[in-house]
Structure 1
Amino acid sequence: MTRVRYFAAAAEAAGTDVEERGERSLVALRAAVIAEHPALVDILPRCAVLVDGVRTDGDLVLDDAELIDVLPPFAGG
C-alpha cells in the first residue's frame, strides 16, 4: 500500500488529508482518486505529484512507492 497525502485545495476536494492506496501505477492512481473523489477532477491535473519526494509528471510504476504527495499550486507573496 502507498500512502497518499493531499494538501490545501486537494485535501479539501478529496475530503481527507491522507489515505492508503493500492494502485500499481500513477495513471491508475489518478483515475481511481478522481473516480472516488470527483471534486479532484479540476484540481488534480494542476497539482504537482511527488513520489517518495521526487516530482513525477508522467506515469510511474508504484510497486515500491511508499509516499505520494499531491500539492496544488500555491500562491504567495
Structure 2
Amino acid sequence: MIRVRAFAAAAEAVGAPELDIAAASVGDLRAALGARGESAPRVIAQCAVLRAGERLEDSAPLNSGDLVDVLPPFAGG
C-alpha cells in the first residue's frame, strides 16, 4: 500500500487528506485517485506527485510503504 497525502483541492476532490492506495506506479495511483470523486479525474491529472520531495513521472514505480504527496497547482507571489 502507498500512503498518500493529498493537499488543498486534491484532498477535496478525493474526499480525504490521507489515504492508503494499492498502486504499482504513479500512473496507477492517478487512476485510483481519479476514481474517487466527480471532479477527481480533472484535479488529479493536474497535480504533481512527489516522493521525498522529488517530483515523479507517471511511469515511476511505487513500492509498498512509500509516502507520496499529491499537490495541486497553485499560484503565489
TM-score range, shorter chain: 0.7 to 0.9
Q: State the TM-score, normalized to the length of structure 1.
A: 0.84
Aligned match of 2:74: 74
Return closer, same or farther for 1:50/1:65 CA change in 2, 3 Å cut-off.
Answer: farther
Q: Is the 8 A contact 2:21 2:32 kept in 1?
A: no
| CA RMSD, Structure 1 to Structure 2 (Å) | 1.6
Unaligned runs of 5+ in 1: none
Unaligned runs of 5+ in 2: none
Task: Tell me the percent identity.
Answer: 45
Q: Is the 8 A contact 2:49 2:69 kept in 1?
A: yes
Number of aligned residues = 77
Q: List, as ranges, runs of 4+ consecutive aligned residues in structure 1 with deviation greater than 2 Å.
A: none
Aligned match of 2:10: 10
Residue identity in the other structure for 1:16: A
Aligned match of 1:33: 33
